[in-house]
Structures are given as C-alpha cells and as structure tokens.
Structure 1
C-alpha cells in the first residue's frame, strides 16, 4: 500500500521574480524596537514605516509610487516624545493613521494627498489615559472611528470612540471629555503577563484578545464593547 506523505501544492514550483532596486524602498532606517507590533503599515495610497530616530519617535509615510532611494531628510511624522510602538491606517479613510508610543499617548494624524512636504508634528487629536507605554492599536474594521489601544502590563486597554468629520479639508474630532481632558470612552484591564498581547475585533461588538498571565501561561479572553 502506498500513500502520499507530502501534500501536493500547485505553488510548489512557483518562483517569484525579485524587483529591481529602483522599484523598492531603499535607504530607510527601520526601527530596532523589539516590541511585538507592526513596524510598517500599508493602504491603497501610502506606506508607513516606523523609523529609528534620536530624541523622540517618528515614522515615515511614503506614497506607494515613491520608490527607490529615500533621502535621509525626507519629512516624517514626528510628534511623539518617545519611540513609536505601533501604527495603523484607518480602514475607512486612507488619509488617516493612528500611532501608539512609549510616551503613553495615542495620536491620530491626517496625511495629505501626495504625502508630506514638511515634517508633521501636530496630530488631529491626542488620546490620553494610559499610564505606561502603548504597544498596540487597532481600528474597528466595520464601525467607523472606533480605535482600540492596549498598554503595557497592568495598564488599561481602552476604547477610543471618535467622530472625525472632514469639512473644508479640516478634520474635526469629537470625543468624551472629563474635566477638560480627552479620555477613553471605555476601558478594561488587559492580560497581566509581561509578554505582548494582541486583540482583534469580532462581530456583534466582541473583542478577542490573547496574552499571558503573571506565570507566563497563555490566556485568551472574549470581551464585549
């Protein structure tokens, strides 16, 4: 009796053709941060890459067509005071990107069509509420203007509900206020372990998270918005 040990695949003998150097993105100082998050993000218009920078945190935003060698003086999004830990494009607006940082803040930025011509240091909105570094941000895929953020161990996992309206090319943001400060509209304790945690949105207002306990045991959680 004979049987196949290796499952056959139609891609088994398919080989890709590497692009030429001028068709790639070259000369970019990618972050050396080891945090388990995204160091780059892409959408139909732009490519964003977290970069290595002294004295703060920044990331590069390039139009997809701008390939080849990138000049070291190319303008960046540089409004954070600590290393950028994660970036995420809004799925409902290709010009809006959020960033999370070691400085405990989450910031939302508007990128003009065609990319940046000067450094961008003023966010559309600055979200506060975390006490430690913010290592994860995730936009809601179906509900517009809902952003989830997760902080370091024993920090809070917050849901920021934002209303972003584009009027005459200016973004206006409405949020809940408390004593004159913008705060998360909802929050919940994250996993207690020191290892990174991840979260994804599900249907019916549910959020699925993975992480670790204090004893480094794998944990799974199903949360409700």
Structure 2
C-alpha cells in the first residue's frame, strides 16, 4: 500500500441531510415504473411527478416553503396519462417542460403567486397551473425531456426516436433516426452540438444535432436492465451506468471522440438491483445515486481514473433524485452540491459540504458555474452557430471565462472544446420548414397566442371561452361610432365577467375532485389494514 495519500480538495466531503421540518412532506410521488429521476429543481422551484387519478400531473413547490404540504394544492394536470419526466428551462425559472405516457410534450408557466397563495390559506383552493403550449409528435410514450444547455427555446424529447423542438416556432426541426427500442437516457455535450443516448438494445449512440446524423455507435453494458448516460461537462468524456450480464452494477467512461474502441475506464460497483443515477459536477466529481438504496457514492475524475472519495449512507431508500444548479449553492457553508432525494411521500434536501472554517469565499473549490443566460437563440443554433455556455463566478455572480482544462484530467492528450466565441454559421442540412406563430413564448406568458389548428403536430390547451362570431365586426363605415364603441366595451365587460365565473366554477369542481381522491386513498388504506388484521387474527 502506498505511503502517500492523493491530494484532493474534496477528500473529506460529507453529506448533510436536512431536518424533517426542512424537507418537503405529504407529496404523493408517482408510482410509475419508468426509469426517471421523478423530480427536477432550479434555484426557485422543485417539481415532482405526482400520483394522480384520471390523468397525469406533476407538482411544483417553491424551495423556500418546506414542511408538510396541504392536501389540496395546485397541480399541473396537462397530460391524459402519467407524467414521466420534467425539466426546468435553464434560462427561465418559471418555465417547465413535461413529458408523459400520452406522448405529449407540455410547456407550463409557473405562477408563483398562485402557489404562494395556496400555501398561505388555511383552507386552500385548488387553482391548478395551466399549460401554455402542447407539442405532439411521439406515437408512443415520451419518456424524457431536456432543455438545450446553450440555446434558448430548444428542447429535446425522447420516445423510440429523439425530436429536437424549436419552441419559438412550436415545431420539430430535427428528428433523429428511430431506434430499435425506447430511448432510456440522453445527455448533451458542453456546447449542445452533440447528443448521447442509451437504448434497451444495449447500444451507446452519439448524434450530430444540426444534421440529425448518427456520428458513432458502440456496444455498451451487456445487462438486460436499462442504462444511463451523462456527459462529463467540458470534457470530451462520457459516463454511462448499467449492468453486466451477471447483474453487476457498472460505470463506464468513454472517449466521445471514438467510442468504437470501447470504454477507457470500467468500474464495478456492487450487485444491487437498482439503477445507478449518474450526476456530474463541474468540480470534476461524479455522483452515483442508486435507486432502491439510500447510498450516494462520489468519485473525483483525474487522468481517466475515477478516484473514490467516500459515500453518503442512509437507511431510507431513494426512488429518485435531482440536483440543484450550482449557481444556487450556499457558498458560505462551503456547499459544493445539493441533492433532493425522493422517497415515497417525502423529498429530502442533502447538502454535500467541504469542511472548512474560513468565512471568505473559497475560490479553489468553486469553479465558474452556468449563468442561466443563453449564449444563442434557437434560430442561431439551427443556422449552424456554436457557442460555449455563459459562466459566472460564484463569488459575485459576475460573468467570467471558463478556466483551462487541466491536463491531469486525461491520461492522454484530450480533444479540447472550442473557444467561447461564437463560430461562423455553417451550412446546415435542410430541416423541415418550421411553422411560424405570432408570438414566441420567451418569456412564456399565460396570454400565449393560440396557434393555428391546421398543423397536426401542435395541440393547444382548451380555451375557456371564445367570443361569439357576432362580436367580431368587420371594418366598415359606421354612422354611429360612439354607440358602437360603448356596445363593444359592454361586450368585453360581459365576457370578462363570464370568464371569471367559469374559472371559479372550475376551481370549485377541482376541490371536489381532489377531496374525493383523498377519501378514496383513505378507504384503500383502511381496507389494507383490515386485510392485515384479518390475517393476523387467523394466525
């Protein structure tokens, strides 16, 4: 054994769980068996896939409100089947995308005032969040959804195929070739020009997003269970997790420039049955959270080696997990990462902390973080332009350049990503002609203009009330303009009043439905207790 210990800033990092009152309690987490994180987080909100009857739903709660949530709380019920995945926009804290078993992709604007009001009321009213846009295009269930890391209003969704959407035009611009089975996981590279996917056919694939072409493919984990993929930040390395043919949990590291040669690093973890969820931190730390157990292992990446740091252990198994963007971390406590652990009805924050006593900013453990500002527009991206993400210093949130990649991270000379400047436009492949809309949802507003119904790829939420044809008057010469103006004003007032009455009636009916759902759950729980007591009495 070596006499020397490898130097590392993160050798003593430990996980600090939150107290019960600082957790999010009374959340009915979805019972779907689909392999997903079940939750997503941004600097302001936490979303959780919700177990709802009569369709699919997810819940959004402000991070500042912890404790037990009320039984009646606003949901987003935009899907007709269970919600499988959610993803917050990296450039708008109030915009969230969701995908579900109904094959739809739904964009929802988060009304923070509505959520806060529901939390403050002693008897909260159900006033569910309303979607602003629905995208249709997947024949089977849409398993995953993820926003582009650099370009604004660019969204990826998966099913048997991967679709790249231009949200500004509400259209699919690039559709990647269909795979033999459901796509199990996807991850963008640093500049968002490449996309890595895993599939149940045990293949790892890398696609060029502008041309839609498959650039490389390789055999991955040989186990029958699903695998996951995570691009390792600015590096040209890819991490995958999966199972061997003997059901050992594995971690592979790949050189994205040539995955056909196989993984450059293989690591066997254990023989547990739960999927390993990989999460990469720009501190060059790889976190591995196992589904079905309460452990989170973390490794430091250097010279194409994964150096084991330590492990966070807990007795409560996790069903899912998500991580807070680094720009929202608490640097005063030397917090380098924060996870949100999802259990059956609770979401528990876990802070990973470097033990230091200094009150000043620790620049050596805080590399620049993603800023939350787009470097490209969607039109620039699809025109062939490339840019690196905009970074900020966690000391004062001022924009800064990315530090050079340390050569010690590689065993051999890496393929260094391009500079931060925007490259000249490249001649892209001819995408399908996008259908334009009158207004882009950036920023998204609940007053989103309705899209033409002629396109089969777009479905709009139902409009609560539309003015009758008689109220739409064609331009003409009117002998009594003052009378017409007063009549139009009266019509508008009447329609506004009717619209508000309909909204109030809908909220009341939602309350009745939610109360019935709660009564049904209590009935089922009591029924299970009766069965257990009967069995015990017979024994």
Q: Bin the TM-score by the shorter chain.
A: 0.7 to 0.9
2:138 to 118, 130, 142: 130
1:222 to 207, 220, 224: 207
Structure 2: state its 5+ residue gaps. 119-125, 211-539
CA RMSD in angstroms, aligned pairs only: 2.4
Higher relative CO (Cα under 8 Å, sequence separation at least 6) belongs to 2
Q: Check 1:20–1:98 CA distance in 2 against 1; reply closer, same or farther (3 A cut).
A: same
Q: Check 1:7–1:93 CA distance in 2 against 1; reply closer, same or farther (3 A cut).
A: same
TM-score, normalised relative to structure 1: 0.79
State the shift of 1:36 in Å.
2.2
Q: Which residue of 2 aligns with 1:157?
A: 162
Q: Which residue of 2 aligns with 1:199?
A: 187
Give the distance between the partners of 1:191 and 1:28, measured in 2 at CA: 35
State the shift of 1:160 in Å.
1.1
Alpha-carbon displacement from aligned partner over 1:107-162 (angstroms, at most 9, x marks no partner): 000001345344435311000011000011111111110111111xxx33111102
Q: Check 1:202–1:18 CA distance in 2 against 1; reply closer, same or farther (3 A cut).
A: closer
| Contact 1:61-1:115 at 8 Å conserved across structures | no
State the shift of 1:63 in Å.
0.7
Equivalent position SS for 2:176: strand
| Contact 2:161-2:179 at 8 Å conserved across structures | no
| Contact 1:77-1:119 at 8 Å conserved across structures | no
Which sits farther off after the overlay, 122-131 or 33-42? 33-42
Alpha-carbon displacement from aligned partner over 1:3-56 (angstroms, at most 9, x marks no partner): 159757665555554322111111111112222223111111111111111221
- The size of the alignment, in residue pairs, is 201
Give the distance between the partners of 2:108 and 2:141, measured in 1 at CA: 19
| Contact 2:114-2:127 at 8 Å conserved across structures | no
Q: Which residue of 1 aligns with 2:176?
A: 188
| Contact 2:161-2:183 at 8 Å conserved across structures | no
Structure richer in strand, relative to its length: 1
Q: Which residue of 2 aligns with 1:41?
A: 40
| Contact 2:109-2:129 at 8 Å conserved across structures | no
The equivalences for 1:3-152 within 5 A come to 3-4=2-3, 15-116=14-115, 117=118, 118-120=126-128, 122-151=130-159
Q: Which residue of 1 aligns with 2:197?
A: 210
Give the distance between the partners of 2:162 and 2:15, measured in 1 at CA: 41
Give the distance between the partners of 1:97 and 1:131, measured in 2 at CA: 22
Alpha-carbon displacement from aligned partner over 1:54-89 (angstroms, at most 9, x marks no partner): 221111100111100111211111121100010000
Structure richer in helix, relative to its length: 2
Q: Check 1:43–1:115 CA distance in 2 against 1; reply closer, same or farther (3 A cut).
A: farther
Give the distance between the partners of 1:17 and 1:212, measured in 2 at CA: 35
Give the distance between the partners of 1:53 and 1:6, measured in 2 at CA: 52
| Contact 2:111-2:129 at 8 Å conserved across structures | no
Q: Rg larger in 1 or in 2?
A: 2
Give the distance between the partners of 2:7 and 2:93, measured in 1 at CA: 39
Give the distance between the partners of 2:182 and 2:24, measured in 1 at CA: 34
Give the distance between the partners of 2:17 and 2:144, measured in 1 at CA: 32
Equivalent position SS for 1:28: coil
Equivalent position SS for 2:74: coil
Q: Check 1:114–1:10 CA distance in 2 against 1; reply closer, same or farther (3 A cut).
A: same
Moved over 6 A (4+): none
Q: Check 1:98–1:195 CA distance in 2 against 1; reply closer, same or farther (3 A cut).
A: closer
Equivalent position SS for 1:35: coil
Give the distance between the partners of 2:195 and 2:81, measured in 1 at CA: 28
Give the distance between the partners of 2:5 and 2:203, measured in 1 at CA: 31
Q: Check 1:14–1:207 CA distance in 2 against 1; reply closer, same or farther (3 A cut).
A: closer
| Contact 1:45-1:64 at 8 Å conserved across structures | yes
